[in-house]
Amino acid sequence: MAIARTHILVCGGTGCSSSHSQALIDELNRELEEKGLLGEVQVIKTGCFGLCALGPVVVVYPEGCFYSHVTEADIPEIVEEHILKGRIVTRLLYQETVVDDKTIKNLNHTKFYEKQHRVALRNCGVINPENIDEYIAMDGYEALGRVLTGMTPDEVIQTIKDSGLRGRGGGGFPTGQKWFFARQSKGDVKYVCCNADEGDPGAFMDRSVLEGDPHVVLEAMTIAGYAIGAHQGYIYVRAEYPIAIHRLQIAIKQAREYGFLGDDIFGSGFAFDIELRLGSGAFVCGEETALMTSIEGHRGEPRPRPPFPAVKGLFGVPTILNNVETWANIPRIILNGADWFASMGTERSKGTKVFCLVGKINNTGLVEIGGGIPNGKKFKAAQTGGPSGGCIPASLIDTPIDYDNLIAIGSMMGSGGLIVMDEDTCMVDIAKFFLEFTVDESCGKCTPCRVGTRRLLEMLEQITAGNGTVELLREMEELCYYIKANSLCALGQSAPNPVLSTLHYFRDEYEAHCIEKRCPAGVCKRLVRFVIEEDKCKGCTACARACPVNAISGEVRKPHQIDTRKCIKCGACMETCRFNAIVKR
């Protein structure tokens, strides 16, 4: 088989796939076949590159040209100019890679990537996730071979302990300690589980690992099975992740064919296999005991702890459960050593952490550097930890990101979602948004969560409707602490966090809603007035023509007025005005 001189990598993650990256692959293959280049040029579908804001992404090697926002119409030019004639299509390049007309910069040396150290994401955007040979070429399954042929289970667990790896699913519990407890628990049958039920709004770290590097999870779970004495694993993945599911199915089939799953792996006598279980999208099933209950075929509801899963978990036997990102670190720790992993991060939070950066920010994606706020707006806050986390104000932007520091300022790491907000964001409305999500996702098993969060949401709705009082704020705060103290599982215990953090850091906004009956950000419709500034209005009548309820009146070339009794606050007038004469107050 001829070796290709050029490789064209096309992102096949969910983000780029939704922007029709498969159509780019089909068009590339058609163009290359037409020009007789299919043997010389290989088109590879990869996982996510991380820079989701620039998708669909096409990268051409050996030059390393990073083409962004590529469309089908661009493909003939890329093939004709770049592949055939060797001339880079500069108009499609990610501008951070451009040095001058003749020179491009390596992608890893751009501001977006240069400070990142990719461990969990090391193969994402690099290999074809549907080809086990490419994973093996990147040292895949070498860690498993080393474990099964040269390490005892206790040595494996001690290595993970010494690395300082903490669970990346939100709780931050030491991974090696969890494995140790399961190892010590008595029982002939034990299980290893992977939590791929990524439910936080704005989070897609685990999905990207599964789509870009599924074999790393299989390898890690098999290592864990050997370490604790388990022979069966389950990956619980939400059904809304069709690409991840498809690639996991392919990976499991390939691993079985190659002998990395099944009986007598690496001739060691150790047997281990993995099955998929699909979740229906219930947020509560991200909680470990609810997840296991769901795997067992029952309604996903949390169970009281203790006993903890390491003692009595899936089907009532000792079980360990880690999330996708935690698993993705395991093979590298085995290959590079505990000291290597422990040398990164902070004193109490070792290693690296993948963050999913979304919201009002330029460079959305799996990143550690965000690239500023769109349209020159001011950074106002960042939400970490999803519905269970808190809002961090601009004044604390330099806080080191680790488990303990985030908890200290009223937030949490969570799975790694990070939502950025600008000056146009209403923090009361944000708290209401996250609480609406929690109320909808509550399993209803315990009263503090089922009833308490509903009442908390009603209070926020009163405030955003202009019916709040200072006394209501005090009652709301008391209710938050009651829910935290008395809910059965982490979903209810953490549900008030967005309310408490915004009350703490943005109390002035709550008071403006309750006392002044106004929304400073101009988001809460019941508290907003649209006003035409007479000195700016040219009397062009555009706003009056755009108003769906005829609330605007005035003569041509003279200032107009808005009848607030008729105004439905749709904002159509403000969007139509070319003179910025309409403002929200």
Encode pLDDT of 530-584 as tens digits: 999 999 999 999 999 999 999 999 999 999 999 989 999 899 999 999 999 999 8
pLDDT category, 359, cuts 50, 70, 90? Answer: confident
Report the alpha-carbon distance of residue 310 to residue 317 in Å, rounded.
8
Query: Looking at residues 174-192, what average pLDDT do you find?
Result: 96
Mean pLDDT, to the nearest integer, of 83-107? 86
Q: With 90 as the cut, is the pLDDT of residue 416 above it?
A: no
Give the pLDDT of residue 371: 56
Of 206-220, 361-375, 482-496, which range is least confident?
361-375
End-to-end CA distance of the chain: 69
Checking if the pLDDT of 386 tops 90, the result is no
Confidence of residue 4 (pLDDT cuts 50, 70, 90): confident
Give the model's pLDDT for residue 367: 56
Q: CA neighbours within 13 Å on the CB side: how many for 380?
A: 18
What's the length of the chain? Answer: 585
Mean confidence (pLDDT) of the chain:
92
The tokens describing 21, both together, are: 């990256």
Which pLDDT score, from 0 to 100, does residue 76 have? Answer: 96
Neighbouring CB atoms inside 10 A of 243's CB total 18
Point out which residues pair with 98 in neighbouring strands. Answer: 104
Helix (H) or strand (E) holding 137: helix 132-137
- The pLDDT value recorded for residue 369 is 53
498-537 CB burial, b ≥16 within 10 A, e <16: bbbbbbebbeebbebbbeeebbbbbbbeebbebebeeeeb
Amino acid code (one letter) for 4: A
Strand order in the sheet with 232-238: 273-279, 232-238, 191-196, 319-323
Tell me the pLDDT band of 348, cut-offs 50, 70 and 90: confident
Q: Note the maximum CA span of the chain.
A: 89
pLDDT band at 368 (very low <50, low <70, confident <90, very high): very low
Q: Rounded to whole angstroms, how far apart are CA atoms 405 and 382?
A: 15
Residue 444 DSSP symbol: -
Bridge-based pairing state of the strands 417-422 and 379-384: antiparallel
402 neighbors 348 (Cβ within 8 angstroms): yes
Residue 217 in this model has a pLDDT that exceeds 80: yes
How many other C-beta atoms can be found within 10 angstroms of the C-beta atom of residue 57?
28
> Residues near 288 by Cβ (< 8 Å), separated by ≥ 6?
193, 195, 309, 313, 321
Looking at per-residue confidence, does 567 or 103 come out higher? 567
Per-residue pLDDT at 79: 96
pLDDT of residue 281: 82
Angle at 179 (CA atoms; ends 173, 181), nearest 5 degrees: 90
- pTM to 2 decimal places: 0.84
- Note the pLDDT of residue 35: 93
Q: Tokens 């780029």 appear where?
A: 16
Give residue 180's pLDDT: 98
What does each C-alpha distance from 233 to 161, 181, 214, 287, 301 come to in angstroms? 21, 17, 14, 18, 21
Average pLDDT over residues 511-519: 94
Q: Is 558 exposed, middle or buried (0-12, 13-18, 19+ CB in 10 A)?
A: exposed
pLDDT at 201 over 90: no
DSSP letter for 265, please: G
pLDDT for the residue 102: 72
User: Does pLDDT of 376 surpass 70?
Assistant: yes
The amino acid present at 306, given as its one-letter code, is P
Q: How far apart are CA 12 and CA 21, in angstroms?
A: 7
What's the rounded Cα separation, in Å, for the pair 215 and 128? Answer: 11
Residue-level pLDDT at 2: 58
Q: Are 412 and 388 in contact (CB under 8 A)?
A: yes
Matching residue, tokens 């908890």: 407
Measured over the CA atoms of residue 157, residue 159, residue 160 and residue 164, the dihedral's sign is positive
Question: H helices then E strands: how many in the chain?
Answer: 23, 17
Tell me how crowded residue 423 is: count the other CB atoms within 10 A of its CB: 14
Cα separations in angstroms, 296 against 189, 277, 292, 432, 468: 15, 10, 6, 34, 45
CA angle at residue 451 from 449 to 457, to 5 degrees?
90
Residue 300 DSSP SS3: coil
